[in-house]
Amino acid sequence: MVPIPLEDTFVDVLSKAQKGFKLGDADLARRADVSLEELARAKRGEVEEEVLRKLARSLNLGKSSLVELARKGWFPDPLELDGLAQFNTPFNDMTVNSYLVWDSRSKEAVAFDSGANAYGMMATVRTQNLQLKHLFLTHTHGDHVADVDRIRSETGARMWVSEKEPFPEAETFAEGRSFELGVLRIEARSTTGHSVGGTTYVITGLARPVAVVGDALFAASMGGGGISFLDALANNRRKILLLPDDCVVCPGHGPLTTVGWEKKHNPFFPEFQKS
């Protein structure tokens, strides 16, 4: 299987941080002590290590992790976990993820988002002889909910979403709501920032803990702060990155990662890194 590429380049990380802190080019260049031309070259994708380190310092990004991302020096190792399946489907000029999690003994399953289409997910439900009970939405942006009707019509699964972001025919819940399914326990944590009702689902009962995070966090990046960049950062720090290091992180775009890897390699969280 061809690995899913990282969702963001170092240019995307710089852009998200600059936009999040509401800095114009002149302000950022002055704060970082770089010229406007040096900033422009960085934003075009040219890798000048000293310039990137100065920009990282001014944007509260990890200096070494930003350079590492620019040098393409890290990619998550392949991850496999019994009872977890990732589906990656094309949507316009990008791809989007959805997930299945199941109890291998009871064969009861839950889905997270639909992605652009749910053909692969429904095929896995059939081949694994699963009973899909619930469909949880991380948020309601179009790429994540494009095929929810197929899932519900083929399985009768109950659909759930945060009360902060209602969606047609979905039942709502408040933060902290827990669901149980066989040996699985699923806790809903509000990770608003990218979207109003952005939700991370923390799942225990498999061999390792799992966090389905939607667009809150990506491997070596994070979703844009469409609602609040600062809230997005704070929620990621408090509600995702304090989970165990071996927790498998299932993002809305890009490859699977872990909490431990993101602490080491994600430029947005320099406090976990040496430099």
CATH number at residue 222: 3.60.15.10
Does residue 146 share a domain with residue 32? no
pLDDT grade for 255, boundaries at 50, 70 and 90: very high
Q: What is the pLDDT of residue 180?
A: 96
Does residue 66 share a domain with residue 94? no
Task: Assign 3-class secondary structure to 119-168.
Answer: HHHHHHHHHCCCEEEEEECCCCCHHHHCCHHHHHHHHCCEEEEECCCCCC
Domain boundary among 32, 47, 70: 70
Q: Is residue 194 assigned to a domain? A: yes
The SS3 of residue 268 is: coil
pLDDT at 15 over 80: yes
Q: Is residue 156 assigned to a domain? A: yes
Q: Is residue 75 assigned to a domain? A: no
Does residue 58 share a domain with residue 97? no
Q: What is the pLDDT of residue 2?
A: 79
User: What mean pLDDT is predicted for residues 214-240?
Assistant: 97
Q: What is the pLDDT of residue 59?
A: 98
Q: What is the pLDDT of residue 12?
A: 98
Q: What is the pLDDT of residue 171?
A: 98
Domain boundary among 24, 46, 70: 70
Q: Is residue 187 assigned to a domain? A: yes
Q: Is residue 3 assigned to a domain? A: no
Does residue 130 share a domain with residue 35? no
Q: If you count them, how many residues does the chain have?
A: 275
Structurally, the chain folds into a number of domains equal to 2
Does residue 220 share a domain with residue 188? yes
pLDDT in tens, 62-72: 999 999 999 99
Backbone angle region of 65, left / alpha / beta, with phi > 0 → left and psi within -120 to 50 → alpha:
alpha
- CATH number of the structural domain spanning residue 48: 1.10.260.40
Does residue 51 share a domain with residue 15? yes
pLDDT at 201 over 90: yes
Task: Assign 3-class secondary structure to 61-97.
Answer: CCHHHHHHHHCCCCCCCCCCCCCEEEEEEEECCEEEE
Percent of the chain scoring above 70 in pLDDT: 99
pLDDT at 162 over 90: yes
pLDDT at 1 over 80: no
Q: What is the pLDDT of residue 174?
A: 96
Does residue 105 share a domain with residue 223? yes
216 secondary structure, DSSP code: S
pLDDT grade for 274, boundaries at 50, 70 and 90: confident
Q: Is residue 77 assigned to a domain? A: no
User: What mean pLDDT is predicted for residues 5-9?
Assistant: 98
Does residue 106 share a domain with residue 54? no
Percent of the chain scoring above 90 in pLDDT: 98
Q: Could you count the other beta carbons within 10 Å of the beta carbon of residue 19? A: 12
**Can you list the positions of beta strands (E) in 13-54?**
none
Q: Is residue 2 assigned to a domain? A: no
Q: Is residue 1 assigned to a domain? A: no
Domain that holds residue 63: 10-70
Does residue 125 share a domain with residue 52? no
Does residue 201 share a domain with residue 152? yes
Does residue 185 share a domain with residue 95? yes
Does residue 103 share a domain with residue 201? yes
